[in-house]
Structure formats: C-alpha cells, structure tokens
Amino acid sequence: MTELQGEYIPSTADWVREQVAAFEASNGAEANVLERDGKPIILITNRGAKTGAIRKTPLMRIERDGRYLAVASWGGSDKNPAWVANFRKHPEMVLQDGGTKKAYVARELSGAERDEWWDYAVKTWPTYGEYQPNTSRIFPLFLLEPVAE
C-alpha cells in the first residue's frame, strides 16, 4: 500500500494545503522543511476519523531506525491537533519522507516507552520542550512503524 484510495479533503489551513501541494508536486524534493526554521518534515496520508476521507498532514521529521515519531504538540495549544483522532481511529497510513513512500501503522505510546521517545523528540527538535509548559495537556506521541511488505 503506497496509496490510499478515496476522496481527498485538503486542510482548511492555507499553509498546510500549499505545503502539501508543493511537496507532492515535487515528490518531496521541495516544501520538505518547516518554513520558519528549515527543519525537515514528512508527509502523512491517512483517513479522517469522522469522514473516512483522505487527509494529508505534514509533520516534523523525527526518525530513528526506520521508525518515526509523531508529536501532537500543536504549538503548545490546549487542544490536540485534528490528526490525533485520525491516527487513533485509522492508524494505517502512507508516510512519505523525501521521495520515499511506504505503508506505516501508528501506535500511541505510554509509560517508559513514551518517556524514551519524548526525550528523543526534544533532542531532535528542542522547541517541543518549550511548548509543553504552555499547557496542562500531555502531548500524545505516536510511533509510526513500517508495515512488512
């Protein structure tokens, strides 16, 4: 599975729609970094929790040993980003890192495993550590693991 079939509903946020379009048009060669600081991103394609429609979400690239971490920080907001509900209901996804697309499945982390990956996330992108004190919400973390082909 390197593609999901169905209706695609683009993000309501202009910057997300534009980044996704540019990333896909260039097969990951362009729009592959966060504009404000140049940090690399990945693109997730999965199903929406409410509609079942195709959704596309750029996320920070936090990778280790072929697995990726999705951090639901939403800039320290008191609410989870919409993609959290999508991952919980439909954990199967396509992850694109640069020009490489593969099938992955998301698993929400807890306990010591979550703590270990949180430390790695903050080392990779220290801004997460600055966001967490802004809210009483504990950021959900999802480990994205490749599906055996």
Q: What pLDDT was estimated at residue 117? A: 98
Percent of the chain with pLDDT strictly greater than 70 = 98
- Asked whether residue 88 is domain-assigned, the answer is yes
Query: Does any domain span residue 4?
Result: no
* Predicted local confidence at residue 98, as pLDDT: 96
Q: Residue 110 — pLDDT band, cuts 50, 70, 90?
A: very high
Contact 43, 56 (CB under 8 A): yes
Residue 36 pLDDT: 75
pLDDT(2) > 80: no
5 belongs to a structural domain: no
Residue 59: which of 73, 48, 70, 68 has the closest Cα? 70
pLDDT at 35 exceeding the cut of 80: no
Query: Has residue 59 been placed in a domain?
Result: yes
Does some domain include residue 102? Answer: yes
> pLDDT tens digit string along 47-100?
999 999 999 999 999 999 999 999 999 988 999 999 999 999 999 999 999 999
Judge whether 121 lies within some domain. Answer: yes
3-state DSSP helix/strand/coil percent for the chain, to nearest 5?
Answer: 30, 30, 40
* Residue 20 C-beta-side C-alpha neighbours within 13 Å: 20
Confidence of residue 1 (pLDDT cuts 50, 70, 90): low
If pLDDT is split at 50, 70 and 90, which confidence band does 122 have?
Answer: very high
pLDDT at 139 over 80: yes
- Note whether residue 132 is domain-resident: yes
Asked if residue 80 is part of any domain, the answer here is yes
87: domain CATH number is: 2.30.110.10
Q: State which residues form the domain around 35.
A: 14-146
CB 89 within 8 A of CB 61: no
- The residue-averaged pLDDT of 100-121 equals 98
Number of domains in the chain: 1
Burial of 127 (0-12, 13-18, 19+ CB in 10 A): middle
